[in-house]
Amino acid sequence: MSAGFQGKLETFSFRQSPVLIVEDFWSADDRRYFREAMVKASWKHLRDLPNVREDFPDSGNWARAEIAPPQGQRFFPRLQLRCVQEYIESFPNIVGRHLGFNYYSYAPGDCLLTHDDTDQGHAVQGKQAPLRRIAVVSYFHEEWRSDWGGELIIYKKRSGHTAEHPDLEVTHCIEPRPGSLVMFTVPRFHRVCRVDQTAGEHRRLSIAGWFMTEHA
């Protein structure tokens, strides 16, 4: 990441601009480190995740894996940006702050249908699930070509939008460039375009998840 963009991060505000895109946030050594960790991870495919599959039908068979503590200790401190902290702390009556991240691997035919991340999970022992505030995705594959698809599309609502009759306008079409970082505030409609067959054996490798807050 260039010194110039580091300076822009110091003044960036999610209240003023809800989407942050940083290219080359992760170095080649970072990408190699996390790819090696992904090889050792225990993956579950979409077909093995019935609740998720119900929410995202016809989305291929992408895979998800947990991040081990050593990799988490390298990943999470890098995301403690001033703009993240200021946005999270702007919400009142916070009693807890949470992170929820996983590895993801998309092969040809895999995609993620349009959603806005407002499915907050299920209450546990009568306790409300944390609220998702900022969504994050970072890309760790070594190579990605435009023909291979897998773009992250972010939308805004048009004036006629309703839950029964969605009417969305594209605001961002983001190529999954190796080493890039994308953050955006929740709720915000988005989807992952289907990875094209021309990607062959290449995988769209990412770490994605949310910053969340818990309230009384």
In this structure, is residue 1 part of a structural domain?
no
Cβ contact 215:131 at 8 Å? yes
C-alpha distance from residue 171 to each of 98, 157, 189 (Å): 28, 10, 10
Domain span at residue 64 reads 17-215
Rounded to 10 degrees, the C-alpha dihedral 26/108/67/43 comes to -160
In this structure, is residue 11 part of a structural domain?
no
**Residue 32: partners with Cβ closer than 8 Å, 6 or more residues away:** 142
- Element spanning 68, H or E: none
User: Rounded mean pLDDT of the chain?
Assistant: 94
Task: Return the pLDDT at 78.
Answer: 96
Which of 142, 147, 161 lies closest to 204 in space, CA to CA? 142
In this structure, is residue 181 part of a structural domain?
yes
In this structure, is residue 67 part of a structural domain?
yes
In this structure, is residue 29 part of a structural domain?
yes
| DSSP annotation of 106 | E
- Element spanning 90, H or E: none
In this structure, is the dihedral angle defined by the CA atoms of residues 144, 182, 28 and 107, taken in order, positive or negative? negative
In this structure, is residue 7 part of a structural domain?
no
Task: Return the pLDDT at 188.
Answer: 96
**pTM of the full predicted structure?**
0.94
CA atoms of 21 and 24, how far apart (whole Å): 10
In this structure, is residue 211 part of a structural domain?
yes
| DSSP annotation of 121 | -
- Which two tokens mark 124? 């546990």
Residue 6 pLDDT > 80 = no
CATH code of the domain containing 83 = 2.60.120.620
pLDDT in tens, 52-104: 999 999 999 999 999 999 999 999 999 999 999 999 999 999 999 999 999 99
Count: domains in the chain: 1
Q: How many CB atoms are located within 10 Å of the residue 160 CB?
A: 8
In this structure, is residue 8 part of a structural domain?
no
- Element spanning 155, H or E: strand 152-157
Task: Return the pLDDT at 21.
Answer: 97
In DSSP terms, 29 is beta-bridged to none
Which of 139, 136, 151 lies closest to 186 in space, CA to CA? 136
pLDDT in tens, 157-200: 999 888 788 899 999 999 999 999 999 999 999 999 999 999 99
